[in-house]
Amino acid sequence: MTSDKRGMHGIWASRWTFILAAVGSAVGLGNIWKFPYITGENGGGAFVLVYLLCILVAGIPVMIAEVLLGRRGRMSPIHTMQAEARRQNAPRFFSGIGWMGAVSGFFILSFYSVIAGWTLAYIGEMASGTFNGADATVAGETFGNLLGSPWVLLGLHTIFMIMTGFVIARGVKHGLEDGVRLMMPLLFVMLILLLGYAITTPGFGQGWNFMFSFDFSKLTTESIVVALGHSFFTLSLGMGAIMAYGAYMPSEASLTKTIFTVAFLDTLVALVAGLIIFPIVFSHGMEPAAGPGLMFQTLPIAFGALPGGAWIGTAFFVLVAIAAWSSAISIAEPAVAWAVEKGIKRGTATIMVCVLAWVLGVGTVLSFNEWGDKQFFVTETISESVTDPVSGEVSAKTLSSSFHLYANTTDLKAVPLAEGTERAISGKTFFDILDFLTANILLPLGGLAIAVFVGWLMRREDSANELQADETVYNVWRFMLRFLSPLAILFIFINGLL
Ligand code: PHE
């Protein structure tokens, strides 16, 4: 029934084009924006180590499985999974993996576009010289002003979504290939340049230690879940993006080598981004746990201090925007390819997908201003500081702690406190929920399903045929996919839920 759809979207010009496109998908806001800030929030080195382990144990084996499935199916992930699940006589659940991925894709695209819009704003800010000689205060205020303007954010979100739609509508070959070929190398050059600057800052040693000295006491179960989720997010796994790209991969290209290259480059970019950002954080007495604003509040200071920094900074944000652009395209591709296979014109399909994601994105826009205090899963703890009479040490003693499924944090804060007590509130905004749900739940679940499917349900000769690797490589990969990857994902999940 579906054989007429096979390969209807075109094939990459060569193995290298696939690598470029896959790196274009993998390297994006996840590496430059998200990785540094979650590393900051989760205490540094130990988190980085867990993240690297997750890439190795779960990310790479699942990535190979996903591309293998895509290339075998040569269709959108939804149709590929339906066809392949039938061919392998797998339980029905597995034919739905593609659908789950498409849903995750909508969620991700909706907020991804909003954050990418911030990078567009920073192109303008850099070019107009806002940050010349700027300190942490100026950088913080500029960012705060941006987040406080929902209309500006909405406009930028709209522009970015149109940019994304434009490339997708042109098709993978013409839209995607040309873009990534030029931009990816430039981004690398720029990162190396910035790393050179970071090395000269007084905070470099501290930044390095923050990222690479392992203090396991800082590691919580939630950090481990976040590290696992991020390893999927950063490699574009668990939702079909890389499977869709695999569908356009030439048959003779070596899968394992190709994927190692992609994963290596992606990890390298993330680590370098961290090594640029944290030295600046420490050189300027900033907070590593600043959250989503981290990149936007640190890098401008670096540019402001460099001769010609306004220009370098402008170029840098242009490149980050392009990296985000090439990722956003891949997030939307599975849904668009599916619609095209259903007989809808590529242009129309693109508009449908982008409009839907755009509407959902409005929630993320508002999360940073109007809806900032409307939060879910809110815990409020009231504590008092007590001074130990013997040692004189001051510590916080929790007096009460309450949980609300939903709360308006402004209302919570309005309730007066007893003297000498303090209140801490933590909750999740609309954006936080989408981010958490996709990266930490849906993507790892998608990855788990793919590992089980390819590792356990797909006939050995089928995967061996598609992989075309030598015996040892194949066996190592299959072992990891059957045992290590699913167990690691399950273990982290179960621990995280308890
Ligand atoms: N990997 C991309 C990044 O790190 C984001 C992404 C997630 C792309 C899921 C495709 C699918 O920015």
- The closest residue, in CA terms, to atom 10 on ligand 1 is 236
Report the topology of domain 3-370+431-497. Hydantoin permease (1.10.4160)
Kindly give the distance from the C-alpha atom of residue 440 to the centroid of ligand 1, in angstroms, as a whole number. 13
Q: Which of 233, 243, 271 to mutate to test the pocket of ligand 1 (most atoms within 8 A of CB)?
A: 233
pLDDT at 487 over 50: yes
- The closest residue, in CA terms, to atom 9 on ligand 1 is 236
C-alpha span between 154 and 151 (Å, rounded): 5
The pLDDT-based confidence of 26 (bands split at 50, 70, 90) is: very high
The pairs formed by 11-17 with CB atoms below 8 angstroms and a separation of 24 or more are: 11/248, 11/249, 11/250, 12/172, 12/173, 12/177, 12/248, 12/249, 12/250, 13/173, 13/177, 14/250, 14/253, 15/249, 15/250, 15/253, 15/254, 15/258, 17/177, 17/181
Residues within a 6 A CB radius of ligand 1: 25-26, 28-31, 108, 233-234, 236, 239, 241, 327, 330-331
C-alpha span between 183 and 195 (Å, rounded): 18
What residue spans define the domains of the chain?
3-370+431-497, 374-428
User: Which ligand 1 atom is the nearest neighbour of the CA of 323?
Assistant: 12
Q: Which residues pair with 402 in a beta bridge?
A: 380
Q: Which residue has the higher pLDDT, 456 or 468?
A: 456
Kindly give the distance from the C-alpha atom of residue 26 to the centroid of ligand 1, in angstroms, as a whole number. 5
| Lowest mean pLDDT segment, chosen from 136-150, 391-405, 419-433 | 391-405
pLDDT at 185 over 90: no
> Which of 418, 78, 107, 89 shows the shortest CA–CA distance to 233?
107
C-alpha span between 455 and 479 (Å, rounded): 8
Average pLDDT over residues 372-401: 89
User: Which ligand 1 atom is the nearest neighbour of the CA of 330?
Assistant: 10
Cβ of 1: how many Cβ atoms within 10 Å? 8
End-to-end CA distance of the chain: 44
Residues 6+ apart with CB under 8 A from 34: 230, 233, 234
Token pair belonging to 454: 């390819």
The pLDDT-based confidence of 188 (bands split at 50, 70, 90) is: confident
C-alpha span between 360 and 352 (Å, rounded): 13
Token pair belonging to 318: 């242009």
Kindly give the distance from the C-alpha atom of residue 234 to the centroid of ligand 1, in angstroms, as a whole number. 5
What pLDDT score was predicted for residue 5?
62
Average pLDDT over residues 301-316: 85
- The closest residue, in CA terms, to atom 7 on ligand 1 is 236
What pLDDT score was predicted for residue 3?
41
What rounded mean pLDDT belongs to the chain?
92
What pLDDT score was predicted for residue 478?
97
Token pair belonging to 397: 């003693």
C-alpha span between 82 and 99 (Å, rounded): 10
C-alpha span between 98 and 85 (Å, rounded): 11
- HSE of 279, CA atoms in CB hemisphere, 13 A: 19
Portion of the chain with pLDDT greater than 70, in percent: 98
The pLDDT-based confidence of 390 (bands split at 50, 70, 90) is: confident
Token pair belonging to 241: 């993006």
What pLDDT score was predicted for residue 1?
36
Radius of gyration, CA atoms only, the chain? 23
The pLDDT-based confidence of 149 (bands split at 50, 70, 90) is: very high
Token pair belonging to 240: 């079909």
**Residue 35 C-alpha from the chain's centroid:** 8
What pLDDT score was predicted for residue 2?
39
- The closest residue, in CA terms, to atom 11 on ligand 1 is 236
Residues 6+ apart with CB under 8 A from 353: 106, 109, 165, 168, 332, 335, 336, 339
pLDDT at 80 over 60: yes
Q: What is the dihedral sign for C-alpha 32, 38, 44, 50?
A: negative
Residue 150 CA: distances (Å) to CA of 271, 320, 333, 372, 374: 32, 22, 28, 11, 15
Write out pLDDT tens, residues 197-248. Answer: 899 999 999 999 999 998 888 889 999 999 999 999 999 999 999 999 999 8
Mapped onto helix, strand or coil, the DSSP state of residue 386 is strand
- The closest residue, in CA terms, to atom 6 on ligand 1 is 236
- The closest residue, in CA terms, to atom 8 on ligand 1 is 236
Portion of the chain with pLDDT greater than 90, in percent: 72
Highest mean pLDDT among 179-183, 251-255, 289-293, 385-389: 289-293
What pLDDT score was predicted for residue 356?
97
Write out pLDDT tens, residues 37-76. Answer: 999 999 999 999 999 999 999 999 999 999 999 999 999 9
